[in-house]
Amino acid sequence: MRLPDKYTFEIERVYRDHGAALLLFAVAITGDRGRAQDAVHQVFLKLLADGARRQIVDMKAYLFRCVHNAVLNEIKVWQRSVPLEDESVWFTPPERDYSAELNFRRALFVLPNDQRKVVVLHVWAELTLSQMAEILEIGANTAASRYRYALAKLREAMCPKEDSCARS
Amino acid sequence: MPGPDDERFEQYLKAFQPIAPQPLPIERSGRAMMAALAGAAAVLVVAAVMLRSRPEPNQSSQRESNPPAVEQLTNSQPLTIRTANAMLAQAPSAKAAIDSAAWHSQKTPLPQGKRSALAELSKEKTKL
């Protein structure tokens, strides 16, 4: 596959900028880092194969939507849910506190799937409510309420004492 | 809209950085490949130049780098445990002492009837 340099470099830049959040989004849905990585690669390789033919207005939102679709298609093929892998870290935690990372990952994983997606899209992908609504094909108000619920549950799981997270 | 507490909590969550993905498995185009090869070639050339510019460890430079006492030992006496100990004690570093012993063993033939302690020790079968 021979590719035009400028376009390839641009896609690589996009991959560097958003790859980590896209991978996290895919892992948050699948629970399996290997399959999530495959889904993200699949989206980018398709993008490269298509070349610059497609005019994409909002590249970031487009990529998250593609990864979402790719993962959902794969899940239909797998026909099963994947348990959380404790040994596969999702984050580099602050101060390399990997027990905090595991606690956080577990808290994230017990959220309903729809709420977990919204948290990842808003916190790490830094997408707006309308972008999230478009990606997940839901209303903006639904996205907002899912986010509020998810944040409250995460706070309860991670910061049982009042304000303990804000101080750290 | 999230309140100030929510924003602080979001900041706390953002401190957890998602792990970067593996590189994209793509084949480079011709020009990009040439650029990568040129970069690798440049690194190799610099490494080769640096290696050539280093002084070779020959006999004269070895003599210059060692103190006179070590030189005397290497020239006049056969290598024994005692002389090896003396070399270690007088040499500026363990590496210099080992180098002295190595040069010594190559260039100083032992007198007739005398045997090197190291040669004798090397004949022994040791079990580790």
Q: Answer whether B21 sits within 8 Å of A3, measured CB to CB.
A: no
Q: Which residues contact A62 (CB under 8 A, 6 or more apart)?
A: A56
Closest by CA to A144, choosing from A118, A121, A167, A164, is: A118
Q: How far apart are CA B84 and CA B101, in angstroms?
A: 7
Q: Is residue A85 part of a domain?
A: no
Q: Answer whether B6 sits within 8 Å of A91, measured CB to CB.
A: no
**Residue A39 is part of which domain span?**
1-80
Query: Which CATH number does the domain housing residue A142 bear?
Result: 1.10.10.10
| Closest residue to A165, CB basis, from B12, B24, B29 | B12
Q: Is residue A158 part of a domain?
A: yes
Chain B hits for A24, CB-CB cut-off 8 Å, are 18-19
Q: Do residue A76 and residue A123 come from a single domain?
A: no
Nearest CA in chain B to A147: B2
pLDDT digits (tens), chain A, 168 positions: 554 578 888 899 999 999 999 999 999 998 888 889 999 999 999 998 887 667 788 999 999 999 999 999 888 777 665 666 656 889 999 988 888 899 999 999 899 999 999 999 999 999 999 999 999 999 999 999 999 999 999 999 987 665 566 554
What's the gap between Cα B108 and its chain centre?
A: 27
Assess B4–A contact: CB distance below 8 Å, yes or no.
no
Q: Do residue A56 and residue A112 come from a single domain?
A: no
Q: How far apart are CA A141 and CA B1, in angstroms?
A: 11
Q: How far apart are CA A132 and CA A128, in angstroms?
A: 6
ipTM over 0.95: no
Q: Considering A45, A80, A115, which residue would you say is the last residue of a domain?
A: A80
Q: How far apart are CA B64 and CA A34, in angstroms?
A: 60
| Closest residue to A20, CB basis, from B18, B24, B26 | B18
Which tokens go with B48? 């080769």
Q: How far apart are CA A56 and CA A7, in angstroms?
A: 13
Q: How far apart are CA A14 and CA A67, in angstroms?
A: 14
Count how many domains chain A has: 2
Amino acid B45 reads V
